[in-house]
Each structure stands twice: as structure tokens, then as C-alpha cells.
Structure 1
């Protein structure tokens, strides 16, 4: 059963009885069994000692299990006795190994479950199926901004991009001059945003860290949601602006750029105050030009959706992520692009992703990422099971294997077409992967620098995430979270536990993507969240 993809689970409603393919089964409507061969069920609500779970005969286990201790909602209860060292399965796949004997009815969590050696044998491309694309005349559209180079944006920002932390305050001073009152005469501009960061110097010139930072900054400048940009530096930093322009091919006529890049340095402009005034003059001249771009109908095949999950819980892999996976499958059928990331949060589930790789080369690229992360964590005195975080564990997730199996579900079921480095330009359509850390702001920064023009972010604990220049749509995994954070959550996937199908919620997510891409503000966007979340991945030593 190791080869059962959790995506197979997403297509089924939580049922009251077992079905031939092993769809989720509600046990007296108080717990959910995801696969008849699983060793655990998930408590739908807190279970008290003495509650009896009636198991389906098809599970091959004792038909009745008495709960031995309180089980919190979203947490796991053992369905039979498990010996120390024995594997424990959820989603039909291994999520860990028992660290002590576990009795039927007991709570299964970090006190008695841990990661171990999986010894997985990888199979490449065995689950790849040909796709039936939606005919062009039947493709859905959104109201977006068509750029001169042909790309499509969902927003229309002017960006002030700092080359180094030394220019960060100056960037903020410039940004503050463009108040809502100043921008009132430019209704087609979503704002003037400042993108600042904590790096740009103390780095080896010509090294990997500088190259990656330049890739991020250039990618943000070229994101289709940016109508124009101004680079602002100090002047003496390791990350020299003119070198970045040349290295990242930002010159006129390259990388789809349609204008010569504008830049200023504080030292060449005689200090902060005069640099601010010059920047205000430059941007003021850009405002009418950027405002002239108006929304028009564009096929959703030109959407590039960044997929994220943060603050996951025990329900994320049952409700929100599978529903998003349904949405991704439909987006890909429409010719669009979805970008899965957070490499450390695929660890333990990579065998399922490799089975979907378009070819062996793509699969081996992904395996190379896994091996790099194993090395990277080891030399930094960490381990891959540093994940899940405390909040994830409170929500019911125990090991990185378990978290990864649920996280993978948001990637749908279509072939994996390409694997990209962090912030590398995304050129393939369909389902693709970008190497990023699991930390949400750093991960999203890479995806948006790669070209993503909208974000869908699932959460079980309540990550109130926003991002500029790409709007972020948040999906709650459970009803309690949605009710507690209605001002932050855009869609409630918890209704799947009430009988709605993952497909219905997935269609709702796609409708919301189209609405937000067309100008509707997401909940985080309406609150102005998004600039402080720009966080490039900083590699190596700071000198």
C-alpha cells in the first residue's frame, strides 16, 4: 500500500461505510478512517475514554475499538495493537514507527511515534497519464493586465526594490510619499510597494548566495504583477546593481523586459534625502504610463498559482489540501500552471511524486533536491524531522512523513512537468515544482520571483498570510478555524467533513482564484498585509 497516492483520497466524500476503493470512512461520525489498511483513525471531534468505534469489516481489524484515553480533534487513535518498532500507516502509507507498544484505542502521537528509515524504492513515471485539455474555446478567463511582452498580471503595482539592507530605510521613505491621496488619480494602479530585505552584502562576490539574491530581485522586478520598478542601492554593497542588471539580463530586449531598468544609489545621489526626492520624481513620471494599462479578458491558462500550506493540522491532508488538489487538476486541464514547493515538506512522500514525473530526468532532478536537503540539514546541525512545528503537533501531525503525505495532496494528480531552482523563471505549463525551504515567506518569495501571479495558501492552525505583489487566498481546513478567523480566511474547506465533496470545494477555490485574479481583494489584501513577507532565502555565511 506504500504506492497509494493521497491524491486518490481527495476525490471522495467522507462516507459512513467503507467502499471498494478505500474512500474515507466515518466511524460512527466521530472519527475518520482514510484507508481500510490504515493503523489509525482521525478523531473528528474530541473523543472521551470509553467511546466505541465501529470499524468496517473490510478493514480486516477488530470490528469494535474502545477508546482508552482522550483523543483531541484531528489527532490519531490506534485501531489495533501495534508493537514497538512496527510501522504505522495513514493514507495507506507509512507515517512513522512505534517507539513503544501501542494498544488499540490509545492516542498515537509524538510520545509513541517517530520517523525511521523508510528504505523506499523509487519508481519513475509509472503513474503518468495523458491529459485531456479543455479546448481553447471553452477555456475560462479572468480580467487581467496584459503586459507589452505578452505576459499576464493579476495586479498592477510599481515596485521599489532594494539591492541591499543598507538601502531599506530609503526604500520605505520613497514608498511613503505615494499615499492613497497621491494615487487617487491613478485608479488602475494597485499601489507603490517597497521590497526590502536583510541581505545584499557580507557575501562572496560572484558566489551562489549573491547569484540567488540577484535571481530573486530580478524575478520580482519582472513579475507580471509589476507594471514598473525602480532599483535602489547604497553603492558599495557586494550586490552591485549594474552587475545584477547584466547577470540577470535585465537590459533592454532581454528576458522579455520592455524598458531599460531604472536604478539609483544613495552614494551617487549625495545621500538619503536627495535620493528620495529623485526617486519620487522618477516614479511620478511612471504613474500615468502604468495607469494606462487596463484589465482585459485573458485565458486562465496564463495564471501561475503558487501552492502553499502553513500552520497545517490533522485535517489539512483530508480537506483543504485535497480540495486544492482538485482545483489544480482543473487549472492544469485549462492550460494553467501550479507551482508546488517546500521541499523539506515533501520528504517521506517523494516516492509518490516521482511516480508522476513526466520522465526519469525530471524525477532524478527532484531526488537530487532531497539528497541536497539531507546534506544541508546535517551540516547545519538540524534534521529533516525538525518539521512538524509545535503548532502542527498541537493540530495532530506527528512526523514529517505524515505532514508530507498530506501536503503533497495540494499538488493534484497530473504529471510533474519540471523542477526549478529557487526563484528560477518558470517556463513550463502544468504542474511543476520549485525548490524552496518550508518557511512560508521564504518559499513564496521564490515562487513569486519565478513568475507566480497568485497564491493559494491552505492552513489548519490559522496562518494569516498575505503577499505583495501576488494576492494570497487562504483556505481553512476546519470549521472552528474558519469561524474563529473569518476576517482572514477566504474559503472554508472544513465543510468537507459535513458532507461536501472535495471536488465541490475545489471548484469553489478555482472560482475564487478567478475572482481574485480579476481584482477582488483577498482577505489579507484588504487588510494591507504583504510587504513584510518578502523574504529572500539567504544562503551560506554572512561575513
Structure 2
């Protein structure tokens, strides 16, 4: 019989329900029997000792909350009787001894990627069209309309086709029930035609709401983020539109590019609308230069590269009570495998590391890294408090409904994405990854802001775990969506790529799932698998303004 409850860490005083437990049900774990006092929904927790008011709730071996009222053995842990609490942290002696996983299976393994002159290797080959300021968004959209379909990057069938079919029925006199329930054609999501540039995966048009009118710090950070995308190994070159008078100056962008790639030599076309004059002249020049750039980009082709050239972003969104049990530790093992092979991984979302800071501090390779991490976390937390919020307000209603009732519970599970390897470097947004190994990057917990930042820092693939489901993607890096539970995988199979519900069901170990995910990543990196977010054109891009975003 498969186990219907789980103790995550030996020190925990709660158990996790792997399936709904009914009131008065008797459950046994490691020769101890507990009488459940009330309905315990799957993914939620119940006490295995009597916890007094003010008593500590321990999960993942760390403090995750305190009881607001007495909780008896078998009682449900909920927002009604528990409030957020987390351990404090100090910098001190590092403990970076690490038992590396066995990587013999991947010895000599390669992926087929796009080699850039700076030594980096892309998992895709895109051309970018980006604005320096929101004033240029319309021009970006006009260029997109002018270029995407003629170049063969459009979709043959979209939801527009489905809408047209229904509109036709309405014109023909259909009844309301016919419109609501009649089956309509399927969406094949195929390219509109043969690509003009077969070696170019796409031309991506980014828009944003920044560049002027905010703080100079935000404009500077935006320039750094855009520079991260322009110099990214998945990008062959870029067209940049500037109005000419904005805070996000072209010279700042060029300085940020030089920081990340001192020998930068990709084709880069920068147009200034105020200098060019007429819109027609600007657009014609942008089209000419973009097409010339695409001709250069098309000269690149995939070639073998070692797995050490992979940089993986680790992300979670729409998390549930199984996230820290299945998908997150699974990609944590994938992370450890890649680090052992000399690759890089990025763990971000600092509000979702609340309560596990000490563990990460102890894993930092030196005191300067530990001090920087502690300073970034404290500063971020203080800004949240000053704005009338706090990390304790991070869990969303969906998180809470599915068992993540405090930020510390959510964080303890989220941190599992980073595996067990030493922390090689600590970065502030939007700095670039330069060290192999585990990198900590200061970002919000917001899915899209964080994913946008990880890719800007160099992630050429993102592993994104979810328990509730999300379509999140990125314009230039494949975002691999990983379900924490089989029900989600089956329900949203058109946007989820991998299932780790097998771990919860006892059919697979964390290590086996982690290896399976790495095998999948290699195929994605080689262009052999198109993930759902890419297939759907899910090009989410939101720069982080350095205000409070949880």
C-alpha cells in the first residue's frame, strides 16, 4: 500500500497529507498511529505532537511558524491557528563540504548549441528588437506586424480561427447554446510557412513600461537587463529603438553591454527617432537593418558543446503543498548534477528564501559572499516592511489554499530547487553570472519578473516548477514547465512539459526524477524538443523596478 502521509525531515513536528484524510481517520507513520481530528486536505499538514499557543511549527527541519492557539495531535495546521515565523541568521564560518552526485552517466555528454565568440553557447538563436523607452512600444509593435508573418514565424492557426468560425455561426443565425457548446476546429499551432532564415529560431519583440519617468536607478537597471538580453548566448544580435531624450540613455546601455561582454561584436543596430526624424524613415531603416542582421544570424548553426556550457535558471510559480516534496527537490538534484559537471545554476526569488537564509549563508564559498547575501536579504526585507508589507505576505491565495500557509513553509520548499552544492556567487539584479556553480540572484518572487531576471543574468534554459499551473515563458530562453502532481500534469498537459507527481505516488525517487529532467534538458538545449511555452509563443518579459515586489 502506498503511503498517504509523509514526514519531510526527521525534526518536523507535522506530517504532510499526500491524499485527503477524513476526520477521525487513523493513520500510521513509522510505527506510530495518529487520530486525525478533522479533514486534512491533500498537501496540508497536521500536528504529530500537542503544540501549545506560541509553540513552534517545524517543517523541513526549520522554524516555519508559531501557533496562535493550541493545536492538538492530529489537528490541521492552518492560517487560523498558525502565523509566520522564521529563524534569524548570522554570517560566520562556511560549511562547503559537499558530497557530489555520481555524474558518470553524463561523462562526455554534449548538447548541440550555438557557439558565440565570447565562449558562451546558446540553446537557441534569436534576433531581438527592443525599445529603450516605453514611448517606442508602438514602433516595436508595428515592426512586429511587418516582419513576423512574412518571415515565416507566424502561427498558421490561432484562436482567431476559432473565433472566426463561431462568428460565422452567429451570422448564420446560430442559437446561444450552439455558440456555447458546439465543437470547433483545433489549433494546430504550426508555423505559417517556411522560414526565410532556417537557422534563426525567431525574431523577438520586447516591450516594457520603463526607461523614463521613474527613478534613474530603475532606468539604469533596465539598461543592464537589456544588455543582458542583447549579450545573451541565445541571441545573435539586436535592433534597438531609442526616442532620444529618455533616462535610459544609449550610452548607459553600451556601458552595460561592455561590462558583460568587453569584446562584444554581435550585429547591433541602434536607431534614434528624434535624430532620424520622420516615422516612415525610422521604420524603413529599422526594417532594412533588422533584415541585414537576420542574414548574419542565419550563418550560425548548432554544434556540439559540453554540458558545462549550460546555465539553468531555477524558478517556481503557482506553488502547492507538494512543490517542496516533488518538483523542487527533483530539479535541486538536476542542479547538483549540472554543478558537478562544471555548469551554472541560478536560484533567485529572495522573498521565498525567508527562513532558510542560514543554510545558504553556511554554504557560501567565502565570507564576502555570505555577507553580501545577508545584506541583500535584510535590505529587501526592510524595504518591504517600510512599504507596509513584508515577506510574510508573499504566499498567494492559491498557495495558501494548497497548503503553503506561511512564507517560511513556502520558502523552505522553494529553496530545495538549489540542491545542496556550495554557493559560488551572490548577485544583485541585473548582474551577470560569471561563476560556475550555484549562484544566488536577488529578484522578487513574482514569476515573470524573476524569470525575466534569471534569463537576463545568463540562464539559457529555465526549469519552472508549478503545483497549480501557469503558462509563463520567456522570449529567448526555453522555460520547461514541471508539475508537482500528476493531476495537474493531466489537467494542463498543453502547457506542462514534465510530471514529478511520480515522486509523491512512490513510483520514482527524487534522484531518478532529477536525472530524467536533465536528460530532457539536454534534448531541449539541442533543439530536439520544443517546450510548450515556446510552442505557444509565451514571451513574458517584465523588468523589475526596484520597489517592493514580492
- The corresponding residue for 1:25 is none
Aligned to 1:336: 343
Give the number of equivalent residue pairs: 504
Q: Is residue 133–residue 334 contact of structure 1 (8 Å, CA) maintained in 2?
A: no
CA distance in 2 between partners of 1:111 and 1:133 (Å): 45
What is the deviation of 1:494? 0.5
Residue 374 of structure 1 deviates from its aligned partner by 1.8
Picking from 26, 34, 52, the partner of 1:52 is 26
- Cα offset for 1:106? 1.4
1:306-321 correspondence to structure 2 within 5 Å: 306-321=313-328
- Correspondence for 1:197: 208
CA apart distance, 1:40: 1.0
Encode CA deviations 1:211-269: one digit per residue, 9 max, x unaligned: 21110111111111111101101122111223422x32449x95231146311122222
Query: Which is further off, 32-41 or 354-363?
Result: 32-41
Match of 1:32 in 2: 6
Alpha-carbon distance in structure 2 between the residues aligned to 1:51 and 1:75:
15
Aligned to 1:498: 505
1:138 lines up with 2:145 in the alignment: no
Q: Does 1:99 align with 2:68?
A: yes
Alpha-carbon spacing, 1:220–1:459, altered in 2? closer, same or farther (3 Å)? same
Residue equivalent to 2:524:
516
Q: CA 1:267–1:294 in structure 2 vs 1: closer, same or farther (change >3 Å)?
A: same
State the match for 2:494 in structure 1. Answer: 487
Whole-angstrom CA distance in 2 between matches of 1:329 and 1:137: 13
Aligned residue number for residue 83 of structure 1: 52
Among 390, 395, 402, the residue aligned to 2:402: 395
Query: Residue 340 and residue 119 in structure 1: after superposition, are their counterparts in 2 closer, same or farther (change >3 A)?
Result: closer
Distance 1:402 1:136 in 2: 34
Provide the residue aligned with 1:74 in structure 2: 43
Per the alignment, in what secondary structure is the counterpart of residue 276 of structure 2? Answer: coil
User: 1:124, 1:363 within 8 Å by CA — same for their partners in 2?
Assistant: no
Task: Measure the CA separation in 1 of the matches of 2:434 and 2:300.
Answer: 24
3-state secondary structure, aligned to 1:192: strand
Q: Which deviates further from its counterpart, 450-459 or 354-363?
A: 354-363
Whether 1:324 and 2:293 are equivalent positions in the alignment is: no
1:260/1:529 CA distance change after superposition, 3 Å: closer
Asked whether the 8 Å contact 1:187–1:291 carries over to 2, the reply is yes
User: Secondary structure of 1:355's partner?
Assistant: helix
More moved, 392-401 vs 134-143: 134-143
1:182 aligns with 151
Mapping of residues 148-159 of structure 1, within 5 Å: 148-159=117-128
Query: Do structure 1's residue 455 and structure 2's residue 462 form an aligned pair?
Result: yes
- Partner residue in 2 for 1:13: none
Aligned residues of 1:44 and 1:73 also touching (Cα < 8 A) = yes
Taking the aligned partners of 2:149 and 2:198, their CA distance within structure 1 comes to: 10
Instruction: Give the match's secondary structure for 2:468.
Output: coil
1:363 aligns to what?
370
- Choose 171-180 or 113-122, whichever is displaced more: 113-122
Aligned residue in 2 for 1:230? 239
The alpha carbon displacement at 1:120 in A equals: 4.4
Question: Is the contact made by 2:63 and 2:86 (CA closer than 8 Å) also made in structure 1?
Answer: no
CA contact (8 A) 2:218 2:546 kept: yes
Cα distance in 2 for residues equivalent to 1:493 and 1:152: 28
Task: Give the deviation of 1:118 after TM superposition.
Answer: 2.9
CA distance in 2, matches of 1:99, 1:137: 50
Match of 1:11 in 2: none
Change in Cα spacing, 1:427 to 1:314, as seen in structure 2 (3 Å) is same
Once the 2 structures are TM-superposed, how far is the Cα of residue 208 of structure 1 from its aligned partner? Answer: 2.2
Mean Cα displacement is larger for which, 37-46 or 305-314?
37-46
- Confirm whether residue 538 of structure 1 aligns to residue 545 of structure 2: yes
Please report how far the alpha carbon of residue 159 of structure 1 lies from its aligned counterpart in structure 2 after TM superposition. Answer: 0.1
438 and 518 in structure 1: CA distance in 2 versus 1, 3 angstrom threshold? same
User: CA shift at 1:456, angstroms?
Assistant: 0.5
Q: Secondary structure of the residue that 2:315 maps to in structure 1? A: strand
Whether 1:255 aligns to 2:257 is: no
**Correspondence for 1:43:** 17
Determine the structure 1 residue equivalent to 2:535.
526
- Does the residue aligned with 1:323 lie in a helix, a strand or coil? helix
Q: Distance in 2 between matches of 1:360 and 1:303?
A: 27
Q: Distance in 1 between matches of 2:119 and 2:464?
A: 27
Q: Report the Cα distance in structure 2 between the residues aligned to 1:269 and 1:117, rounded to whole angstroms.
A: 56
Q: Distance in 1 between matches of 2:545 and 2:278?
A: 28
2:124, 2:201 within 8 Å by CA — same for their partners in 1?
A: yes
Q: Structure 1, residues 289-310: CA drift from partner, whole Å, max 9, x if none?
A: 1111000111110011011011
Aligned partners of 1:117 and 1:421: how far apart in 2? Answer: 23
| More off after superposition, 118-127 vs 398-407 | 118-127
Residue of structure 1 in register with 2:423 after alignment: 416
Q: Any conservation in 2 of the 1:140–1:334 contact (CA below 8 Å)?
A: no
Q: CA deviation at 1:122?
A: 5.0
User: Is contact 1:423–1:448 with CA below 8 Å preserved after alignment?
Assistant: no
With normalisation by structure 1, the TM-score equals: 0.89
Q: Which runs of 5+ in 1 are unaligned?
A: 1-15, 17-27, 58-62
Structure 1 residue corresponding to 2:79, chosen from 101, 106, 110: 110
Equivalent residues of 1:388, 1:397 under 8 A apart: yes
Q: How far apart, CA to CA, are the structure 2 residues paired with 1:491 and 1:211?
A: 37
| TM-score for both structures, normalised by structure 2 | 0.88
State the 1:165 CA deviation.
0.4
Asked whether the equivalents of residues 128 and 358 of structure 1 are also in contact (C-alpha less than 8 Å), the reply is no
